[in-house]
Structure 1
Amino acid sequence: MLLQRLSPDTPHLGRTLLHHAILCGNAAAVNVLLSSGANVEASVKTQKTEFRPIHMAARLGSSETLQCLIDSGCDINSMTDSGDTALMICAKYKQEECLRTLAMAGADFGLVNTAGQSATSFAGSNQWSLGFQQVIVEVIRAGKIPESSSASVFSPLIFVAQAGDIEALKALIKWGEVDIDYQDDSGFSAVMFAALNGNVEVFRLLVYAGADVKLRNKAGETAITLSGLNQNHDLFEKVMLEFALQMGNRDDGGFYALHCAARRGDIDAVKLLMSRGYDVNVPDGDGYTPLMLAAREGHRVHVRAPDLARGSMLVLGGSQVLKHTKGGSGAPHGKEIKMVGEAGVLRWGKSSRRNVICREAEAGAEPGLSKEQAEQGRR
């Protein structure tokens, strides 16, 4: 009845009725005032600051009032005189429900204030990163992807990858509008963060979703090199090997599938990868071939002569061989050959004084050997 005679925007002590209703936490009065034409963007101005109704509701943690303002069409990303949005204010004052309300309404997480602070940085500086993270993850799980006008300020994919939440990550991938290989200002991608943080399941999900593990950050690191820094690097390696076996031949930026299979002694994987065209003679980043790695780990691979002719691996893991002297004219005698230490170093017998560096090896007998000696050597 009063509003039929008085304007709802008549100021009192620098505030309108809408401002006073918000201060009193009276959501019903806020709703009546807005229905009666109250200005949803009416500013409160003091000597030190200027803010709007949405900023007041966010600061006070009144999610019901905040929703009324949003439903009435307020500017959800309006800023105070210092550039703070309602989203930033929620993070600054740990207003969980208001943060959720704003995120669901599409508030922009990519904005920064005049000091260069964002909602995410406010949460971090206020020791509220975990609570902030939980709200955002729940919003994504509910099917709402947070808005961000600047991926460098806030990237939903990188945020979720660092949080390590599988269900939220699945929701983002299913959404299909995220750049799975987006790199931040330091060159880190989501799969790099998964590797750095030791999160194998997030790493697996991203790899199978098509994340490029060959990308390098500004320090020259890839997801593969970062995964090697973790105590559970063996699990990351297993993911990559499984992926290579399922998806076929692929150059994965520092991951050598055949070398990995040989070092692990996985004969079936070795055979499958070789059948797909993996080169058995290519050295890895440390100069090791698959043969060298298998021998170093003491794995034995039995192959037929036709396989050797095609360039397949022969692993010498401490096997007995016949050694001929004097250009083949000497009597053959048994020796144990084994790879030790650095790549290409072979040991004949047990003494380190018999170490030799193998520069080249060929399958077959020495031409100077007699037919009988050659047959003995093959055996």
Structure 2
Amino acid sequence: MDFTACYADTVSSVAAAARAGRAGRLRALLGGGCPIDSRDNRGWTALHEAAAAGSSACVREILAALHARSCKGVPALVNAQTHEGESACYLAAQRGHVGVVRLLLKAHADVDQMTNDLSCPLYAAVDGGHADVVDLLVSKGAEVNGTHTASCWTCLHQAVYKGHGQIVSILVKVCNLEVLDDHGISPLFVAAQYGQRESLEALIHAGADVNSPAADLATPLLIASQEGHMACVDLLLDHGADPNRACSNEWPQLPIHAAAEFGHTGILRRLLDVTDSACGRTDGMVSPLYVAVNRGQPQSVAMLLDAGYSPDAQDCTCSLGLRSPLTLALSRASSESHRECVGLLVAAGAALEEQDWTQVFVSDSPQLLQLILQHQRFPRLESPTVACSGRRTLTPQELRRMLSAARSCSGSACLWLPVLLSSGLEPSFLLQPRLFQEADSEVLNHLLEFVNWATLPPPLRLILDQRRAGRSWEPRAHFHSLPPLSHICRLRIREVLGPDLLMRSGAVQQLPVPPLLHDFLQFRDIPEALHRPPLPS
């Protein structure tokens, strides 16, 4: 049966009059001997109807009739409950009928009577935002610290959650400010979580603990930072909230992590000024760069890097299974936001380990490698650490890691080899037996176009001869003859200027040669290595 519906054919004449607020009609019916305690299909009596309708006149008529008929039955009917456990006082409080509540309390209504779902008149009034009813019930001794939901919320929790500032101001004078629900959450935590600044301020001024943690160690400052409530963050910090307090059982998470993870840049900016930056480099902690990268928040990444957080951070293999923020960004570089994070980290000097380069080389697209090489340059053989505007020169150790990864990824060389060569890598770095043995025919031809193929070392020439005999390499026709003088000249110009300067700048336009030669000098006449899909098995 649907007890929330009202069926007219089951409502008594007395109840119908009370519902309509017709006090004269009600007086006549009761004077004629009609029963007072008849119930409808919801268990409602006429008193429930009058209380819910807010008709003080009808309530008075019913109470007067009860006294006239049987004084002993007054408390029982006044506190009679519907099938949902609602009393007349509850229904009046729920709807904000303060006059009716006052009448019922005078008639000895139970101020703390509970409904089936653990609510009570005070909780109902709080939930509805009826401050005058709340004030009345509190003054009449209503229990203010009882729990009224399955999660053990009190009236103060609910008032804060709903943002009823006037009611919060009433309750903070009489309630336990540190009462906790079943998750260890205090009313102040609720205010921070839902951005209820007025309620938060009232609780703080009443003496509530601004650092009271939940059961999982999350603090009000952390939850306000996570949810993006700037005004609450400012208020908490201004009143002593600790930004360096660990807020997680799993790893030492701080409020700055939450702000960075969810991209709340205003809050992040505030927290950068008050958070100990040691969290970004100390072993056993976790740099906020990790969580910013994980969520793909390039704005947060940029702010953290600008504030001096190391792009390499600390190795979090043990706690998070991640070596560095860059490793994480590369693993998710299929999304635009994570690629942007890669660019920011590399531009800030993040080191790529061999496994990072491998991740780049096996990518389905050369765009990731191109992005990284926008911020890095290859060393020249004679001066490996010369700086170049806007880009950092790879150290010899970093170059070795990159080349080792490249040699191990010869199967995808058709994607990365043209990018490396057009970005200024010395071709001699790639003249290695393994690459010559494993590279696709077109990939190998592309590489040979950047060198003097007539002067290859004997071991490499032997590999080429063997591959040609086995028909795994088909050389381009001009490889059978000596390189033309024009090719020798451009190799020499590349050597003198340096591959990076020649390939990635306007230096070629400054040379005293005809403009028609510019593309030739930058090797743009050489066909790209073609990607060939694998043969079906």
Following superposition, the deviation at residue 158 of structure 1 comes to 1.9
Deviation at residue 134 of structure 1 after TM alignment: 3.0
Q: How does 1:157-172 map to 2 (within 5 A)?
A: 157-172=188-203
Counterpart for residue 335 of structure 1: 386
Contact 2:213 2:219 in 1 (8 A): yes
- Check 1:287–1:82 CA distance in 2 against 1; reply closer, same or farther (3 A cut): closer
Q: Displacement of 1:79 after TM fit? A: 1.6
Correspondence list, 1:202-281, <5 A: 202-208=232-238, 209-211=240-242, 213-217=244-248, 222-232=254-264, 234-244=265-275, 254=286, 263-264=305-306
User: Structure 1 residues 19, 103: CA separation in 2 closer, same or farther (over 3 Å shift)?
Assistant: closer
How much does 1:199 deviate? 1.9
Counterpart Cα distance in 2 of 1:210 and 1:75: 41
- Counterpart contact for 1:262–1:294, Cα < 8 Å: no
1:263 aligns to what SS in structure 2? helix
Counterparts of 1:1-379 in structure 2 under 5 Å? 13-14=36-37, 24-26=55-57, 43-45=78-80, 48=83, 52=87, 54-66=89-101, 76-80=111-115, 83-90=118-125, 94=128, 96-97=130-131, 100-101=134-135, 108=144, 111-112=147-148, 133-135=162-164, 137-140=165-168, 144=172, 147=175, 150-152=179-181, 155-178=186-209, 180-184=211-215, 188-208=218-238, 209-211=240-242, 213-217=244-248, 222-232=254-264, 234-244=265-275, 254=286, 263-264=305-306, 283=314, 287=324, 296-297=347-348, 335-336=386-387, 338-339=391-392, 345=398, 351-352=424-425
Alpha carbons of 1:217 and 1:51: their partners in 2 closer, same or farther (altered >3 Å)? same
Residues 171 and 96 of structure 1: is their aligned pair in 2 closer, same or farther, counting only changes over 3 Å? closer
Query: Retained in 2: the 8 A contact 1:224–1:255?
Result: no
State the TM-score, normalizing by the size of structure 2: 0.38
Distance in 2, matches of 1:108 and 1:164, equals: 23
RMSD: 5.9
1:274 corresponds in structure 2 to: none
- Given residue 305 of structure 2, which amino acid in structure 1 is its aligned partner? R
Letter in 2 for 1:140: V
TM normalised by structure 1 equals 0.50
Q: Displacement, 1:351? A: 3.2
Residues 295, 60 of structure 1: alpha-carbon distance in 2 compared, 3 angstrom cutoff: closer
Query: Structure 1's 210 and 88: CA in aligned 2 closer, same or farther, altered over 3 A?
Result: closer
- The code of the aligned residue for 1:263 comes to L
Q: Which has the higher helix share?
A: 2
Letter in 2 for 1:58: A
Shift of 1:297: 3.6
- Structure with higher RCO (Cα < 8 A, 6+ apart): 1
Aligned pair count reads: 283
Q: Distance in 1 between matches of 2:243 and 2:74?
A: 47
**Partners of 1:109 and 1:118 within 8 A in 2:** no
Contact 1:192–1:222 (CA under 8 A) maintained in structure 2? yes
Query: Which secondary structure does the structure 1 equivalent of 2:212 belong to?
Result: coil
Evaluate the alpha carbon distance shift between residue 74 and residue 192 of structure 1 in structure 2; reply closer, same or farther with a 3 A threshold.
farther
CA distance in 1, matches of 2:250, 2:138: 37
Task: Look at both structures and tell me which one has the larger radius of gyration over its CA atoms.
Answer: 2
In 2, the alpha carbon distance for the partners of 1:151 and 1:213 equals 23
Alpha-carbon distance in structure 1 between the residues aligned to 2:82 and 2:247: 50
In the alignment, structure 2 segments of 5+ residues that lack a partner are: 1-34, 39-44, 290-300, 317-322, 326-343, 350-374, 403-422, 430-537
Cα 1:26/1:40, change in 2 over 3 Å: same
Report % sequence identity. 14
C-alpha spacing 1:238/1:53, structure 2 compared with 1 (3 Å): same
State the Cα distance separating 1:175 from its structure 2 match: 2.3
Match of 2:455 in 1: none
1:30-83 deviation line (CA, Å, top 9, x unaligned): 9x99xx999996553368466555324314531234356679997643324654
Whole-angstrom distance in 1 between the partners of 2:117 and 2:250? 35
Change (3 A) 1:203 1:255: farther
SS at match of 2:386: strand
- Structure-2 change in CA distance of 1:216 and 1:210 (3 Å): closer
CA contact (8 A) 2:85 2:115 kept: yes
Q: What is the rounded CA distance, in whole Å, between the counterparts of 2:345 and 2:170 in structure 1?
A: 48
Give the C-alpha shift of residue 159 in structure 1. Answer: 1.9
